[in-house]
Structure formats: structure tokens, C-alpha cells
Structure 1
Amino acid sequence: MTPAELEAARDRIVPDVVAGGLSVLFCGINPGLMTAATGHHFARPGNRFWPVLHLSGFTPRQFKPAEQEELLGHGLGITNVVARATARADELSDEEFREGGRLLTAKVERLRPRWLAVVGVTAYRTAFGERKAKIGPQERTIGRARIWALPNPSGLNAHWTAQTMAEEFARLRAAAEESTSLPDASLQDGSVQDR
């Protein structure tokens, strides 16, 4: 991609990879310019989402961004907090994040995944007003969907290696598998949990 081709992708919307009843709906911050130019989520070569998804056991092999639709067959999907593409996430305003959180809530209520996994704890904090949120499972739910904040897989996130990220993704995978094995995600120990 040339710089001009990437710049031409600014503000584009990239379609979600979603279906109803997913096990995990992964939620990026917003599409980068490479993602918008190709139409494939997490397409920038330095982004570690696809390797980490495989290392954590979510996929049987490392998918390429162009194979994103194959995630649906594994009960996985991808969306974003903010739909419009930018070169950097810091180009987005707090109001865009808050509006993205409102739209994401409506999407999760409609699609009813078991887990919403937001890849970027800072984006989660801003979108949902949870200033003290940390990586891991959250108290907040959307309907019966549980929420997990994951580290941002961007190559710019030097605090996390691919291996330590994969360990956190694997914690979510184990929780998702456990909730899938229950007859209904809302039933535990024979009682209905109001989430």
C-alpha cells in the first residue's frame, strides 16, 4: 500500500464479522488505515491479534486477516468500539468513544454473544465510563453477555509480548469454553443469575 492509498482509506467503515449467538465477540478500538484499505480487521503487519488468537488456542492455526470470515465457524466475531478508520486511535475524541460504547451496547444486545472482549482497556474505560477497569473480566454485563478487557494487540503496545498477551487471551478462552458447556449461560448451580 502506498501512503496515498492508506490516506484515502481514512474515515472508511469496515464491515463487522458477526453473527448471532457467538461465543466471543472481539472488539477493536477502531479500524486502522491498513484495515480500512484492505477491508480486513487487524490487517497491519505489526498487529499481533492473529498470532495471539492462535497462540491462545482460539484458532487451530494462525489465520490471515483475509481469512477473517472463518472465525464465525469457531464461534468468534470482530467489531470495533468506533467504526471510522484513523491512522491512530488518539485521533478519536472521548465523545466518539462514548457514542461507540452506546452503539456497541445495542449491537451486543441484538447479537447476544456470550462474551464481549474489548482489545484495549483504555478504550473500554472511555467507552463505558469505567475509569478504574483493569485487564480481565469486568463486573459490567450487557444483557447476559459478560465483558473481558484484553490488552491492545497493536505492535505499539510494548508492555505486552505476544506470549503474555496469549496467556490473557487463553484465560478468556477457558472462561468462554466453561460458559459454553453450561446448558444456558444464565444458569449456574440450578439458579438463574440476574446479570
Structure 2
Amino acid sequence: MGSGSSTRPSPADLAAAQDKTVPDLIGPGLRVLFCGINPGLWSGATGHHFARPGNRFWPALHRSGFTPRQLRPDEEHELLGLGLGITNVAARTTAKAEQLTAEELRAGGRALVDRVVQHQPRVLAVLGIGAYRTAFGRPRTAVGPQPEQIGETAVWVLPNPSGLNAHYTLDALATEFRKLREAVDTA
């Protein structure tokens, strides 16, 4: 399976991607560490975060001003030069986030805290309010900045950019991402 943007995983590639992992994109001095719920099958098959066509992470990132142009999933390493990284609450790939158990999300939240303490990004931005609520035991969490921090790292919750999240249009997602970018840029 190639990593080019025009390569589409076959049904067999997608089936074989179940329960794989996608390496974190983390480096020193990050402004924002974006945290997805878990990789989907397209990401598992391609090895790139937010790889499924229809996922709005890359367009929202660009429209909010985090990137100078819209990157493709296979260009994700360019984020490190912009002070941005990507990780996930749960590491294993699934067809749908609902396939994760609450215990997997809680364990993933504990492991995420360890990664944040180790790498100390300025902000952890969790993409998915339901996953955040479960992983961190915060049932009343709303989108936006959170009152708690992880060490010196601020925590922010953003909507899930999956195309399945019909509650948010791309414009509404970009607006929420922009609020984060403006907060980070003025801090």
C-alpha cells in the first residue's frame, strides 16, 4: 500500500487495517498537540492520520489559519515545522470510534496524560467531546478551553472532524479551530 495521495486502500487493505496503530506525530516544542479519538481504517491502511476522504481535519486546520495551505494526510510531517503534532486517545484502529470500550478510552486518557507530561505541548486539543468526557471522566465538558491543565499544558476540546459528525459544518469546525489558534497565538 503506497502513501501517495491518489492511492486508495482496497477493501482488503481496509480489513487488514483493523486493530493496527498509526505512529504519533510528536516533537519538541509543540504549540498544539491535536488528539483524535482513534485512527480509522483508512489511517491504519495508509499510515497517516485523518486519512479518510471526507474527514474535515485538514480543511479545518487550513481554514483556521494553522497551516498556510491545505495539507494532505501524506504531508502530515510538515505539521512539526509549524509546531503542531497529532496523537490519539486510543491507539488501535477501528471502523468506527463506537467500537472502542469505555475502559479503552479511560486507559487511553491515562496514557495521553503521560505523553503530554513527557512532551509538554503548549496546548492539548482533543478532537471529540464524547471521547474526552469518557477518557477524563468529565461528563459536563463543553467545546472550548477546559479549566484543568496537564502539568503546564492547557487543554482544549474541539468537535470531532469526522464527516460523520453532522452537528458541525466545515465552517463551524474551522471557527472552533480558529478560536484555538487565536488563543495559542496570543498566549
TM-score normalised by L of structure 1: 0.91
What is the distance in 2 between the residues matched to 1:170 and 1:2? 35
- Pick one of 10, 23, 26 that aligns with 1:2: 10
- Pick one of 44, 51, 76 that aligns with 1:43: 51
Q: Which residue of 1 aligns with 2:26?
A: 18
- Matched pairs, number: 179
1:140 paired with 2:163, answer no
The letter of the residue matching 1:47 is N
Alignment of 1:1-195 (within 5 A): 1-179=9-187
What is the distance in 1 between the residues matched to 2:143 and 2:19? 28
What is the distance in 1 between the residues matched to 2:28 and 2:119? 4
What is the distance in 2 between the residues matched to 1:14 and 1:156? 21
Cα deviation digits, residues 69-117 of structure 1 (max 9, x gap): 0000000000000000000000000000000000000000000000000
Long gaps (5+) in structure 2: 1-8
Runs of 4+ in structure 1 off by over 4 angstroms are none
Secondary structure of the 1:131 match is coil
TM-score normalised by L of structure 2: 0.95
**How large is the RMSD of aligned CA atoms in angstroms?**
0.5
The letter of the residue matching 1:150 is L
Cα offset, 1:21, TM superposition: 2.0
Cα deviation digits, residues 9-61 of structure 1 (max 9, x gap): 01101001101220000000000000000000000001000000000000000
Long gaps (5+) in structure 1: 180-195
Cα offset, 1:62, TM superposition: 0.1
The letter of the residue matching 2:17 is A
Which structure: larger Rg? Answer: 1
Q: How much identity, in percent, do the aligned residues show?
A: 60
Q: Which residue of 2 aligns with 1:183?
A: none
